[in-house]
Structure 1
Amino acid sequence: MNTRFDNVPNRRAIVDRRALAEEIAAIATDDPALLRRDAIGKLKDALDAGRAEIARRLADRPSRGLEAANAQAFLIDQLLRLLYDLATQRLYPLSNPTASERLTLMAVGGYGRGEMAPFSDVDIAFLTPWKQPPWAEQVIETLLYSLWDMGLKVGHSSRSLDDMVRQAKGDVTIRTALLEGRHVCGDVPLYEEAIGRFKAEVTHGTERQFIADKLAEREARHVKMGDTRYVVEPNVKEGKGGLRDLHALFWIGKYVYDVDRAAQLVDVGLFTPAEYKLFHRADNFLWAVRCHLHLAAGRAEDRLTFDMQREIAERMRYSDRPGKAAVERFMQYYFLQVKTVGALTGTFLTHIDEQFAARGRRFGLPQLRRRPRKLNGFVLERGRLALPSDDFFVEDPVRLIEIFHLADLHELEIHPQALRAATRDAKLVDDVRTDPRANALFLDVLTSPRDPELVLRWMNETGVFGRFVPDFGRVVAQMQFDMYHHYTVDEHTIRAIGLLARIERGDLAAEHPLATAIMPQIVSRRVLYVAVLLHDIAKGRGGDHSILGAAVAQKLCPRFGLTRAETETVSWLVRYHLLMSATAFKRDLSDFKTILDFTATIQSPERLRLLLVLTIVDIRAVGPGTWNGWKRQLLGDLFEAAEEVLRLGHKQRGREERIAAKQEALAEAMGWNEAQMSAYVRRFPEAYWIAEPDDVLAHNARFVASVGDAQLAIDAQVYAERGATLVTVYAADHPGIFYRIAGAIHVAGGNIIDARIHTTRDGMALDNFLVQDPVGRPFDDEGQLTRLRTAIEDALANRGKLVERLKAKPLPRMRADAFRIEPNVLVDNRASNRFTVVEINARDRPALLNQLAHALFQSKVTIHSAHVATYGERAVDTFYLTDLTGDKIASGPRLKTLERRLLDAAAGKPLDEAA
């Protein structure tokens, strides 16, 4: 008797095959078409009822993922058997079958394993002894058309035994699918012959190659999915640490040891009972998430997107806790499970590796140079750091830190048995947290000039890191529910430390020339590494993580062995780790008060250097695409301006020197004589030269020179450094010009990611916009650019009602819609000596900038510069304003009205005044 579905209770409530068979037998017609139609109708009803019953059970017991997955496979089994009986007994019966008129139907792949999500493909294989006879062709065709008519997605193959063997030998995907082959219905001796030949002719003697192929396939899949298990919108099936990784372990175990169930991996020594328990828990949880995902989406969906995360958290009955939303608690548990899968995978594969390794050659697991040394009681086993006895950590728990220190110092791998023992004994490290030797060893690992990221990752996988630094343990697997951060907090932190080490080694000099150049000047090297470790340590505590983190640093740094002065600097860096990016991306760097306010907080060149490098690695470690040349330019400009102030004692000489240098470079690039250059320089205010980088200054100069006395000219070119298109508008200045241009760009399908507004002394506006298409690519198609120019010309000439065109353009549904962001307007009259600075925080959406600029136009203020920054779903737009006479907006009622209009615009309330 098949025990595959023993864990599914009350199976008859899902589908009653006997009752269905009787209903089909009772269909009284000799017409094959009518018989098939009526039978399919009954089977489709049974499929819908079975799915509904499984969904109801999952809703009642939302964490029973494997039970739901097994129940889906059970349901499909019963329907296939009924279909097969219908086809072979009533539609195409054989009174005297020949030896070739035999057919067996196998479930393969995940369905063969007995696990299916609600909308998974039905993967089946038909086998015949030799060439397919006409009878088998009729049966197969009937089954397939019937399954399609029932609305099922089918993956199928039809092969003879010889074809099966030949194709399985040549294609590892076919071999993997057949590896899990299971008899569903049809000729049993034929199925047994197929399995016997598969084992004897395909798998026997090819174990090494299969393992190598599976590891290579796994690596390729991980790279495609982001190469980390901590992406914040993970793929439950294909992502790193997901179901496919668990399946790969089972496939390898089955291929090598011919096990039928994952539990048997314990019997063959690949898992301990405790490790199998972890395997089963992760498997069950991931299947629950996947089944809920399919049901919530109403289709096959394996990506846990932001909008789905809330839904699945609710379905799985997670609730809010102080300081942590239900969705964050759910995702933290998700990441803890995929972390477990990662640890199990490493141990499992290295065990297999040990058994199948040729001399000095193993299956692509991380390899480092090995230098046998005398290693403080640890032993080297085949070049890997191992334990002399199972109780080695118990004898001296400091060794739980020392093993990672030695691995880093001598660039050694750690034996999987030693990692397994470290995982088991991690709690012993609680007793040596305050031990000076343990802390000194940990600090050495953290600040290693070699590869601290790799060793800290090992330490995190075993749980030793989170036990030794409990504050770090609190952020392990903790996600941040937003679109800006791509990784969990612990993954982001470890990546940032790795980036810091690479910058220090000079590996990233081309991408980070300034940071690479100043690293040798940094005196407080270990302060910087500790600050990177602690900068996000207080996330998820329900308050400002910068302030809370600074307090954590005050407590932890002395334990690590840092001096009082070092502790103060680390605490300061954690407290202000967002200051430099906020100033560079949200403030006008051409306003000198911005620089003075920034340096008043920084106070020393050493802190400035430390903060720059910390800011760079923090941004880079957020995720792919968050770092770009534009951010490098802004941070570099702020660093140079601040350094000049700090070095010259708050004099503005450095600013004048930078402007002079830019003007000299422009004159050289344009080939202008002194008179031409002087005439051009007189037209632009000082702020223009500070605000724009050299390449944009040169582009603007060429453009202005080429258009002569024209009252309107528009240029667009791809700005590769920023991954966007630079749109330059040169036009006679007038009130409302900015909001009209912003609206026109949106009407043309563009998305503004940065805007710089300049007015010449002779009344012309020179505005530079960085524009992307809705999916973040340069806006560079010739048709797009033509529409863009036309839209801007129409808007500035007041041809057609811009507001009506904006209303008519539907807003696409954005991923940001999954997030609730309360609009906020901050008005600051102290941030600048000349301007009122207004910062608006809102959920990012198309036309947001236009609506904000329109609100400013309605408020009768002049916009002098705009700074657009996006952090995932959050937009932060900052404007430098004056009233129409050029003064700050000082009146209380007027500021209140301005704030209300901006709040309405930020909230997306429709524009009510014609343009």
Structure 2
Amino acid sequence: MPLPPLPRLPAVVPRSGVSPEARRSLRQLLGDADRALATSFRDGSDATALAARRADVVGRVVVHVWSACLGDTPSAALFAVGGFGRGLLFPCSDVDLLALIDDDATALSRALEHFFACLWDIGLKPGHAVRTVAQCRDLAARDPSVFTSLLDARCLVGHAGLATGLRGILDDPSLWPARDYLRARVAERDARHARYDDTAQNLEPNLKDGPGGLRTLDAIRWLGRRLANAPDLDDMVAEGLLEPGEATRLERAENTLRRYRFALHLEAGRAEERLLFDYQRALASRLGFEDEHAKNLGVEQFMQGYYRAATQIERSGTQLVERFEEMLAPDTDPQPVGTDYVRYGTRIAPRNPKLFAHRPAALVEIFIARLDEPGITGFTAETMRRIQHAVSLHGESLAGDPQVLGAFLTLLRRGALAVDALWRMNRHGLLAAILPAFGTVVGRMQYDLFHVYTVDEHTLRVLRNVARFADPDARREFPIACEIWPHVEKPELMLLAALFHDIAKGRGGDHSVLGEGDARDFCTRVGLPDDDVDLVAWLVRQHLLMSTTAQRQDITDPAVVHRFAGIVGDWEHLDHLYLLTIADIIGTSPKLWNAWKDRLLADLYTATRFALRSDLAPPAHAGARVRECRERALSMLLGERIGTDDIARVWAEFPDTSFLRHRPEQIAWQTAAILRAGGVTPLVEVHPFSVRGSTELFVYAPDRDGLFATVTAMLDRLRFSVVEARVLVSTSGMALDTFLLLESDTQAPATLQRADELRVRMHRALEQSAGQGLVKRSMSRHLRHFQMTPRIEFADAGERTQLALVCTDRPGLLAAVAQALAEAQVRVHDARIATFGERVEDFFQLTDRSNAPLSPERREILRACLLRQIGPEPARTTSHADANA
């Protein structure tokens, strides 16, 4: 597409200033130019060419205003810096300027003020600095970022002598010598990447400053210029720092990011650099991505394009740093490492440059050698290049080469040590070559808030979590997992299960079923025994079983544990599934793991081991379970010197369900609290750190309709999340309600101070006859983009009705549900609460106010009340404040 023509500017009278009419004209000119550029972009013009054209337009206007305000002064010069200095301005980018002045040019201060004020007035938003050459030198000597900014400085107008002075700063070898500059740039990179969790695979990545973003490409060029006098990619090819193919891939990735950035600025209407959820769907549509099916959305394809480009840039940036380090500190004294490799200092390389081409298995074996050789920290830069050449050369044949697969299995048998090698193999594209199915999920985004990383990044993090279980220092955080790991006879099976558990994401269909087939095929090809193949395939198929059982079912019910144990079958499967489940949860999102889930999974694991040790005996009859719980609780209470008559009096009012659904220690705690209260109600008792790493709230009060709503409304006001609720009624009509809680903000149990606050505020609320009103809090920016119409399903459950509610999470959700239940005149007897990112899956046991199952009419009334209370919030336009929420 042809670019919009450059605007014609009127003649200017030097130092005459810019009249209001002229300012309006310039403002109109810039607006017209921006609109023309936006139209050209929508019509398919290249984003880089358009950004260069905008820089040309703005440059002409800036020079025009400079001439009008300062004329042809010998005491000053104006430089474009930043992206403007590099000759690119995206639709809403700031116009960064540096005004260099002579030491005695103070008389220009008023004219410079007018100049910059005029630029603001016509809408350019300049970022500017006014300095002398000496000041620039002083700042550049102290701050590598200032020195770097001068590398991009481009003289727009002014005295040539000042430009020469600026070049003198850059050419001074005493200012930031090559090694110092490289160290400074690497330190800046590491600090910047740490702000983004050291990965480009975030849900809302920063395409400018994040890992693999456009800033990485800028840094590559800065290093090339300072260290090798090679300021662009072609120059680096000429210097041997890049190969033509590498430069082509970098240019292609850069063009992708520039296209996305241009579109993002247009969509946001401001200099937004984050691919926020607010814009992702619109950008995908703007750039022509369409939904393929429900599990390969257009927005996911759009984001995959970003992730793959960012991965390429980050990979090349890392390798270039390695090459620069070798260039500055060459080691020419190779030492042999086995028969095939040599080491240069701390780096390893093949002895024969053609080794990888002649023997593909060496591509994997060199990673093993790197693990085995003490003191090795990496490969030589040339080795990294040869690995990538060999991967391209052999292509798909690597996935079927028996020797390659044998070497890969040998690597996996190193257990935890192999995980770092797998990360590095992925960086070189080797992992995807050996596992082509893995290559299809590289950069694959899952458009939800549950999975905060792309599938490949998540998989690699799961592998790292598995490796942590081999670290003795992790025993305090993962006591059971660290206890299990030394007994895992074949760690390669655990790593294979982690590699394949999500490998079928995005294909359509059940990824667990599809992944099972992939895992079975691969494990067979690498020559694993049938039993090992079956174990890996089973783990992939059932990798969600333990977490869903623990979070969605009542694991205090022996029947639930018995069913789960029947699926697991033996201790070996249970041990492996427990390890994979924990690693998977933590690798999905750091925010998902908390003490409650830790305890929940530990309880299920322990109960299942007992069931398996008992040869899967059917669960004890309810009467026997009640007797066992009563006996253990009685022993605890007698130890506290509480009399048997007092205990019997309290327990006479407890329904058998209390002893079926609560642990003995909970029964003992509740009983002691009731006795201490001496008949005074309402009773509110709080255990800050109780069962399963949560805070336990016990409410003992006369039962009344709306009590559940009152309690949940106060919990919402105090910002507690309910993870489990037991709502029972004594034989004398007293509510025996138990809630397991976590702090909403931290997902941690309450502190002692917070527990006291909860006790006082809840007691006060229960004493009031009127129910607590709901707190209206707006939905977060993230959640607003993942709203769904609530899915409400009813099922018969004996003498009760089960409500299954699947909906979007939101502040005060449970309180709103409780309000709907009260409005529909429905009683709650049990609640299971589970949240998965933006998605809530809650289960309630309900009756009407006569304690009968809900009739069809009552179910429809409840459905209407729920939809009114928790239906999707209306969408609203994202503000700048929202975007920073």
User: Structure 2-normalised TM-score?
Assistant: 0.88
Q: Residues 504 and 299 (structure 1 numbering): CA distance in 2 closer, same or farther, change over 3 Å?
A: same
> Conserved in 2, the CA contact under 8 Å of 1:168 and 1:202?
no
How many residues are treated as equivalent by the alignment? Answer: 864
Matched, 1:870 2:835: yes
1:272 positional shift: 1.2
In the alignment, which residue of structure 1 is the partner of 2:379?
A: 414
What CA deviation, in whole Å up to 9, does each residue of 1:776-822 have, x standing for no partner? 7989999999799768855874537x6xx54x936335412212535
Residue in structure 2 matching 1:880, options 828, 832, 845: 845
1:311 positional shift: 1.6
1:753 positional shift: 4.2
Matched, 1:398 2:365: no
1:236 positional shift: 0.9
> Conserved in 2, the CA contact under 8 Å of 1:436 and 1:561?
no
In the alignment, which residue of structure 2 is the partner of 1:434?
A: 400
Equivalent AA in structure 2 for residue 565 of structure 1: D
In the alignment, which residue of structure 2 is the partner of 1:234?
A: 205
> Conserved in 2, the CA contact under 8 Å of 1:439 and 1:560?
yes
Equivalent AA in structure 2 for residue 552 of structure 1: D
1:685 positional shift: 5.6
Structure 2: how far apart are the matches of 1:779 and 1:669? 27
Secondary structure (helix, strand or coil) at the match of 1:111 reads helix
In the alignment, which residue of structure 2 is the partner of 1:170?
A: 142
1:216 positional shift: 0.7
Residue in structure 1 matching 2:522, options 556, 571, 574: 556
Residue in structure 1 matching 2:726, options 710, 734, 757: 757
Deviating more after overlay: 266-275 vs 754-763: 754-763
Structure 2: how far apart are the matches of 1:561 and 1:206? 54
In the alignment, which residue of structure 1 is the partner of 2:115?
A: 143
Structure 2: how far apart are the matches of 1:870 and 1:265? 50
Deviating more after overlay: 119-128 vs 751-760: 751-760
Q: Residues 171 and 895 (structure 1 numbering): CA distance in 2 closer, same or farther, change over 3 Å?
A: same
Residue in structure 2 matching 1:489, options 428, 444, 455: 455
What CA deviation, in whole Å up to 9, does each residue of 1:755-791 have, x standing for no partner? 4224363523333252545797989999999799768
Q: Residues 346 and 677 (structure 1 numbering): CA distance in 2 closer, same or farther, change over 3 Å?
A: farther
In the alignment, which residue of structure 1 is the partner of 2:883?
A: none
In the alignment, which residue of structure 1 is the partner of 2:77?
A: 104
> Conserved in 1, the CA contact under 8 Å of 2:551 and 2:833?
yes
> Conserved in 2, the CA contact under 8 Å of 1:451 and 1:501?
yes
Structure 1: how far apart are the matches of 2:689 and 2:450? 23
Residue in structure 2 matching 1:48, options 11, 31, 36: 31
In the alignment, which residue of structure 1 is the partner of 2:177?
A: 206
In the alignment, which residue of structure 2 is the partner of 1:319?
A: 290
1:387 positional shift: 2.7
Aligned counterparts, 1:201-600, within 5 A: 203=175, 206-322=177-293, 323-357=295-329, 374-410=337-373, 412=376, 413-427=378-392, 428=394, 430-600=396-566
Q: Residues 478 and 10 (structure 1 numbering): CA distance in 2 closer, same or farther, change over 3 Å?
A: closer
> Conserved in 1, the CA contact under 8 Å of 2:75 and 2:105?
no
In the alignment, which residue of structure 2 is the partner of 1:608?
A: 574
1:826 positional shift: 4.3
1:197 positional shift: 3.4
Deviating more after overlay: 734-743 vs 585-594: 734-743
> Conserved in 2, the CA contact under 8 Å of 1:331 and 1:478?
yes
Secondary structure (helix, strand or coil) at the match of 1:878 reads strand
Q: Residues 608 and 738 (structure 1 numbering): CA distance in 2 closer, same or farther, change over 3 Å?
A: same
1:638 positional shift: 1.2
1:433 positional shift: 2.8
> Conserved in 2, the CA contact under 8 Å of 1:730 and 1:767?
no
1:464 positional shift: 1.6
Backbone CA RMSD of aligned residues? 3.7
Matched, 1:629 2:595: yes
1:339 positional shift: 1.1
Secondary structure (helix, strand or coil) at the match of 1:636 reads helix
Matched, 1:811 2:811: no
Aligned counterparts, 1:645-660, within 5 A: 645-648=611-614, 649-650=616-617, 652=619, 659=629
Deviating more after overlay: 642-651 vs 845-854: 845-854
In the alignment, which residue of structure 1 is the partner of 2:51?
A: 69
Structure 1: how far apart are the matches of 2:60 and 2:207? 28
Residue in structure 1 matching 2:66, options 65, 72, 84: 84
In the alignment, which residue of structure 2 is the partner of 1:847?
A: 812
1:10 positional shift: 4.2
Secondary structure (helix, strand or coil) at the match of 2:400 reads coil
Equivalent AA in structure 2 for residue 118 of structure 1: P
Structure 2: how far apart are the matches of 1:708 and 1:174? 73
Structure 2: how far apart are the matches of 1:907 and 1:799? 25
> Conserved in 2, the CA contact under 8 Å of 1:717 and 1:780?
no
Equivalent AA in structure 2 for residue 133 of structure 1: T
1:489 positional shift: 0.9
Equivalent AA in structure 1 for residue 808 of structure 2: R
> Conserved in 1, the CA contact under 8 Å of 2:450 and 2:837?
yes
> Conserved in 1, the CA contact under 8 Å of 2:543 and 2:581?
yes
Equivalent AA in structure 1 for residue 357 of structure 2: V
Unaligned runs of 5+ residues in structure 1 are 1-7, 361-369, 911-915
> Conserved in 1, the CA contact under 8 Å of 2:334 and 2:343?
no
Secondary structure (helix, strand or coil) at the match of 2:842 reads strand
Deviating more after overlay: 410-419 vs 551-560: 410-419
Structure 1: how far apart are the matches of 2:600 and 2:298? 37
1:76 positional shift: 2.3
Structure 2: how far apart are the matches of 1:327 and 1:306? 10
Structure 2: how far apart are the matches of 1:265 and 1:699? 72
Deviating more after overlay: 309-318 vs 588-597: 588-597
In the alignment, which residue of structure 2 is the partner of 1:20?
A: 9
Structure 1: how far apart are the matches of 2:252 and 2:641? 71
Secondary structure (helix, strand or coil) at the match of 1:625 reads helix
What CA deviation, in whole Å up to 9, does each residue of 1:714-762 have, x standing for no partner? 567876999987665443222332233324444x373634242243635
1:687 positional shift: 6.0
Equivalent AA in structure 1 for residue 791 of structure 2: N
1:300 positional shift: 2.0
Secondary structure (helix, strand or coil) at the match of 2:112 reads helix
Q: Residues 723 and 631 (structure 1 numbering): CA distance in 2 closer, same or farther, change over 3 Å?
A: closer
Equivalent AA in structure 1 for residue 52 of structure 2: N
Secondary structure (helix, strand or coil) at the match of 2:48 reads helix
In the alignment, which residue of structure 1 is the partner of 2:878?
A: none
> Conserved in 2, the CA contact under 8 Å of 1:861 and 1:884?
yes
Secondary structure (helix, strand or coil) at the match of 2:148 reads helix
Structure 1: how far apart are the matches of 2:177 and 2:635? 66
Percent identity, aligned pairs only, is 29
Deviating more after overlay: 315-324 vs 697-706: 697-706
Structure 2: how far apart are the matches of 1:723 and 1:224? 30
What CA deviation, in whole Å up to 9, does each residue of 1:180-225 have, x standing for no partner? 111011112221222123322664x622111101101111111111
In the alignment, which residue of structure 1 is the partner of 2:881?
A: none
Q: Residues 9 and 25 (structure 1 numbering): CA distance in 2 closer, same or farther, change over 3 Å?
A: farther
Equivalent AA in structure 2 for residue 178 of structure 1: L
Secondary structure (helix, strand or coil) at the match of 1:221 reads helix
> Conserved in 1, the CA contact under 8 Å of 2:595 and 2:748?
no
Unaligned runs of 5+ residues in structure 2 are 875-885
Structure 1: how far apart are the matches of 2:143 and 2:222? 15
1:583 positional shift: 1.1
Secondary structure (helix, strand or coil) at the match of 2:270 reads coil
Structure 2: how far apart are the matches of 1:788 and 1:304? 43
Q: Residues 690 and 465 (structure 1 numbering): CA distance in 2 closer, same or farther, change over 3 Å?
A: farther
1:85 positional shift: 0.7
Q: Residues 725 and 534 (structure 1 numbering): CA distance in 2 closer, same or farther, change over 3 Å?
A: same
Secondary structure (helix, strand or coil) at the match of 1:308 reads helix
Aligned counterparts, 1:831-846, within 5 A: 836-846=801-811
Structure 2: how far apart are the matches of 1:639 and 1:417? 49
